[in-house]
Structure 1
Amino acid sequence: MPEIPSVPALWHFPARPASVMRARHTVARALPKGLLPGLTDDLGLLTSELVTNAIRHGSHREDDLVELVLWPADGHYWIAVSDRGPTRPLAAPARPDADAETGRGLFLVDRLAAAWGVRTRPVRGTSVIAGLPIRRGG
Structure 2
Amino acid sequence: MKSASPPNGHMPQHPVPEREFTMRFTSTPRGARLARRLVSHRLDDWGHPYTSPINEALTLITAELTANAVRHGHVPGRDFHVQLTLVEDTFRIEVTDTRTEKQPPITPPAPDSLSESGRGLLLVAALADDWGVSPRRTAPGKTVWAELPVRPKGHPLTHRVAPEPTELDLLLATASPLGDDLGSRPEDATHEGRRP
Which residue, 97, 104, 110 being the options, matches 1:83?
A: 97
TM-score by length of 2: 0.63
Q: What aligned pairs does 1:65-80 form with structure 2 within 5 A after superposition?
A: 65-80=79-94
Match of 1:33 in 2: 47
Which residue, 60, 65, 83 being the options, matches 1:50?
A: 65
Q: What aligned pairs does 1:9-28 form with structure 2 within 5 A after superposition?
A: 9-28=21-40
CA distance in 2, matches of 1:130, 1:74: 15
Which residue, 111, 114, 117 being the options, matches 1:96?
A: 111
Which amino acid in the other structure matches residue 126 of structure 1?
Answer: K
Q: Secondary structure at the match of 2:121?
A: helix
Q: Provide, for residues 80-127 of structure 1, a one-character-per-residue CA deviation record: whole Å limited to 9, x for no partner.
A: 001001222211112111110000111101000000010011321000
**Alignment size in residue pairs:** 134
Match of 2:145 in 1: 129
Change (3 A) 1:60 1:42: same
Change (3 A) 1:103 1:71: same
CA distance in 2, matches of 1:132, 1:6: 15
Change (3 A) 1:91 1:34: closer
Q: Compare CA radii of gyration and give the structure with the larger one.
A: 2
- Structure 1 consecutive aligned stretches of length 4 or more whose deviation exceeds 2 Å: 3-8
Which residue, 130, 136, 151 being the options, matches 1:115?
A: 130
Identity of aligned residues (%): 33
Change (3 A) 1:4 1:132: closer
For structure 2, the 5+ residue unaligned runs are 1-14, 158-196
Q: Would you tell me which structure has more strand in proportion to its own residues?
A: 1
TM-score by length of 1: 0.88
CA distance in 2, matches of 1:8, 1:99: 39
How far is 1:4 from its partner? 4.9
CA distance in 2, matches of 1:38, 1:4: 25
For structure 1, the 5+ residue unaligned runs are none
